[in-house]
Amino acid sequence: MILGKIPRDGYLAINSYIAARANLHLKNQSHITLNGIMAAVLKGIRAAFGDVEMAPYTVLVEREGYEERLYPARKWACTTMKGSSLKELMTPMFRILFNYISGKNSPNVRVDMTSPVVTYVEPDPTTRGPATMTMSFLVPADHQHNPPDPGHKSIFIEDRPSITVLVRQFGGYFNDEVLTREVKALTDSVKKQDEKGVIFDKYYVAGYDPPFKLIGRRNEIWFIKTVTEGEENRHKLATGITQAYDGVQVEFLESAGAVEDKVKEKDMGKLEAKGCTEDGQEGA
């Protein structure tokens, strides 16, 4: 009875993914046997249910009903369509991107699936036309420096800068009605906190699970938050980014004070090596 709740596209996705992974395994075998075929299918099943590479992020702040995250710059494989319903466009957009990672690209290279599948929803500003929706797969780490050429105009590689987002998580399967409800819930939570610089009229939908996962599903709504220079510096502190300070390479620690102390300590070492005091005067 429970299996009947899986969308029909879910079964198609299961078969496509398992077959693709099994076929990849068989291509690496010099001599194919029945046992080898069975092993390939099992390998495909394990790949379908196993862990995949996830887009990295840092949680900056946790608030009631949502959290603030920083995502580093990464390359994403994307496709864009227009329509009034995300539910109607998800399957065709997913197939385009899935074909890309399955080897239908210029060098015919297979690319591992990543998570989450992220769709950027841009409603028509007049509220009368169709929304623009862009679905994206994160390019895995081993292809980030040189993603396979899509070889087709329906797919493009986007080099996205780092981004700060406000995130609400929810479970289950979703449709347009569920998304409308979750977007409103995140909007209410964010406005309650009087967050500044938040873009409310466009949003991301992130899905982490294959359609055949029945329980513990993870979905998210993201709002983009523009940040000030001061906030950006605090984000760098939180993520351990290394930068240069007056010619001295400094690793950002847990607070700005720790950074200043570390820089001062290194600079004092330089002064002492020159025979100078802290105010820059030469010692006796």
So where are the chain's domains?
1-50, 53-230, 240-284
Prior bond to 147 cis, omega within 30? no
Q: What is the DSSP string of 188-235?
A: HHHHHTT-SSB--SSEEEEE-S-TT--SS--EEEEEEB---HHHHHHH
Q: φ and ψ at 52, to 5 degrees?
A: -125, 160
Please name the amino acid found at residue 134.
T
Q: Which residues of 212-236 are buried (b: 16+ CB within 10 A; e: fewer)?
A: beeeebebbbbbbbebeeebebbbb
Q: Are 77 and 139 in contact (CB under 8 A)?
A: yes
Q: What is the DSSP string of 257-280?
A: HHHHHHHHHHHHHHHHHHTB-TTS
In this prediction, residue 275 carries a pLDDT of 52
E strand map for the chain: 53-54, 58-63, 66-71, 74-83, 114-115, 117-122, 131-138, 156-160, 163-170, 203-207, 219-224, 242-245, 248-251
- The Cα 138–Cα 53 span in angstroms is 9
In this prediction, residue 186 carries a pLDDT of 98
C-alpha distance from residue 56 to each of 70, 115, 116, 146, 158 (Å): 9, 10, 10, 19, 17
Model confidence over 112-167: pLDDT tens digits?
999 999 999 999 887 677 999 999 999 999 999 999 999 989 999 999 999 999 99
Q: Going by DSSP bridges, is the β-strand pair 58-63/203-207 parallel, antiparallel, or unpaired?
A: unpaired
In this prediction, residue 198 carries a pLDDT of 97
Per-residue confidence in pLDDT tens, the chain, 284 aa: 233 343 444 445 545 555 555 555 545 544 445 555 555 544 554 555 457 899 999 999 999 999 999 999 999 999 999 998 998 999 999 999 999 999 999 999 999 999 999 999 999 887 677 999 999 999 999 999 999 999 989 999 999 999 999 999 999 999 999 999 999 999 999 999 999 999 999 999 999 998 878 889 999 999 999 976 566 555 555 555 433 333 333 333 334 444 444 434 444 454 444 455 444 454 44
Helices (H) and strands (E) in the chain — how many of each? 6, 13
> Which CATH class name applies to 53-230?
alpha beta
| Residues in the chain, overall count | 284
The pTM (predicted TM-score) of the whole model is 0.68
